[in-house]
Amino acid sequence: MANLACVIFDVAEADFEERVVNRSREVPVVVDFWAEWCGPCRQLGPALEEAVRKRGGAIELAKVDVDSNQMLAAAFGVRGIPAVKVFKDGRIADEFVGAIPPAEIERFLDRFVPSEADKLAEAGDEESLRAALERDPRHAGAAVALGRLLVRRGDADEAREVLTPHAESDFVASGLLARLDLAEDLDAGERIRAAFERWDADDPGGALESLQEAIAAEGDAERRDRIRRVMIAIFTELGPEHPLAREHRRRLAAALN
């Protein structure tokens, strides 16, 4: 555990480069531009300090009194206070102006310091994914990863329960739910079943080829939409710049037109 007395500190023009810019290459540093006479600053400051303390040294807070450091405030375009800027890897990564509620402060800092649920989800095994969802039931990454495991092993009911809350906001969740519907569709065809086997065998290229053949031969509009959703899920897993995603996205667009 870091010495929490060292993660919240005053900083001035003379040591800003070292204590904020250079330090941010090792750990994110939040900078709070404030003044004694500023009412919203007195409201935001304690909540910001508490949120930083809770993170046990994973993020630091530098406080800049703008009355004593006017050139520093001007250099970073501070026109209203409180002004909060997060430095990461030597540059400003995000910022906000004005007092915000403690819950918003927590969400703001979570983008730079992984939560316990984030760390568990990153582990990727089923036990860790379930633990992540116990800590944060709304954690989409953990839900989708667990849903993927459940779909692969055929636990359709639990997979639906886990994935459905994220169907509108996550392409992979939507695609996995579409896959479950297709798997239960006796008229879906062999190409689709082959695609799922290849997807589960970590052969996205083979899966996409089978799905391209299936959607080209499919006349049912609802089934075509489900195939499309499965393909988009695979594109999302690959990433937008992956050559397979680019190629098959183009082919899918042509097939749908």
151 residue type, one letter:
V
Q: Report whether pLDDT(112) > 80.
A: yes
Residue-level length of the chain? 257
Note the pLDDT of residue 126.
97
Tell me the CATH number at 72: 3.40.30.10
Report the 10 Å Cβ neighbour count for 81: 22
Are both 126 and 218 inside the same structural domain? yes
Are both 215 and 124 inside the same structural domain? yes
Are both 123 and 53 inside the same structural domain? no
Report the 10 Å Cβ neighbour count for 103: 10
Domain limits for position 106: 4-110
The answer to whether 6 is a known catalytic residue is no
* Catalytic residue chosen out of the listed positions 7, 11, 41, 78: 41
Please tell me what DSSP assigns to residue 27: S
Answer whether 172's CB lies under 8 Å from 233's CB: yes
Are both 44 and 29 inside the same structural domain? yes
Are both 120 and 93 inside the same structural domain? no
Q: What's the mean per-residue pLDDT of the chain?
A: 93
* Catalytic residue chosen out of the listed positions 38, 113, 120, 252: 38
Phi and psi torsions of 27, nearest 5°: -150, 145
Are both 241 and 137 inside the same structural domain? yes
Number of folded domains that form the chain: 2
Note the pLDDT of residue 5.
53
Are both 159 and 120 inside the same structural domain? yes
Note the pLDDT of residue 106.
87
Answer whether 42's CB lies under 8 Å from 98's CB: no
Peptide bond into 82 cis (omega under 30): yes
Please tell me what DSSP assigns to residue 58: S
Note the pLDDT of residue 135.
87
